[in-house]
Structure 1
Amino acid sequence: MAATNTPLEGIRVAILAMDGVENAELTEPRKALEQAGAKTTLFSPKAGKIQSLNHMEKAEQIPVEATLDQADPETFDAVLLPGGAVNADHLRVQPRAQEFVRAIDRQGKPIAVICHGPWLLVSAGLVKGRRITSYHTIQDDIRNAGGKWQDSDVVHDSNWVSSRQPSDIPMFNRAMIELFTEKKAAREEKTRRVA
């Protein structure tokens, strides 16, 4: 059987972000997911557009496809949490965002997170005992929440894959696609056995 260049065909990925999201950490992984065949949906607390940043400078405004109130974790196969300090700091206190990632994690669905994105996982109470990386300035938050922070380009722990910063995006994208593909194959195998 020939390898397909769209291994994520049929996979639905939720992206949670707000104003202040790091542009490259949203747009580049999203592009990689879509090129691999996944369908992505950008969720934010408010409808309209979110203002992305290139570090501290304004970048493009990105259309929001649905609000967090409309986000149903049952209809998604995975989640992407891009960084950006302002984005992550505001997203972490959104109850619907916390509920969403808890539900995704509880079901063993994959979570891809980069830079400051792990703040949401900290606030959702999910990092205790987990190996994860992030932007170096939030390592104390992760450790204080019981996580095992590592200074690596990419850290894979069960259904999670994490990276530190924009320069890690090429490795992050590869690891994310690999994890999502593995989880898709496992789900398909389980479905075959049940049928």
Structure 2
Amino acid sequence: MTDLTDFIIHAYKTIARAMAEAGVNADLFKQPEMIPKTVKRRVSAELKRLAVLLRRLIFLMALQVELAPVKPRPGSNYFEKSEGEPEARKAVFSVLPVPAGEAPDFLRGPLIVPTRGPVPAAPLIARWEAMLDTLKHAKRRSKCLARTIQRWKAESKARPYLAPIPKTYAMPAALGIVSGALTVQLTQALRDWPPADTS
């Protein structure tokens, strides 16, 4: 496999800058209680696009990781109660695609009348912070994903399909270049994936 260190560093910096700008331009770092609905829609769309790029970057990083043999570790009891107050829940950014679930609410018809005016900013801030945290710990996340990829290959799972990212022409030039290059690099890196067991 070719050495992609320079490209990964460049892509990481470009995505990190775009992610920071998305939050800073909407003043999410000020932790507002309410934001206009138009701002929420614009930032949500930007974060959704950046999430795809971030997942692809971490996947490419995971394909570059050379894994040592797994060391056995002691088990833990999930049901054992711990002392003190429970920890506050934190939003988590999943590196793997989410499996299909129930149909979204909008397909079932309106359950409540949509509100006008400002909307709560907390969910959007939590999502932005989760993506920033994932970016901060990208090496650790890619190592965990490398173990998952190793398991997929051992189980003869089908090679992941990379769909082209829509509307790359509407992205800023730096992000559009990184987006196209990530797709090309991932396609080349997945060429040595073993064929799926169809028996």
- TM-score (norm: length of structure 1): 0.24
| Greater relative contact order structure (CA < 8 Å, 6+ sep) | 2
* Larger-gyration structure (1/2): 2
Q: Which has the higher strand share?
A: 1
- TM-score (norm: length of structure 2): 0.24
Q: Which has the higher helix share?
A: 2
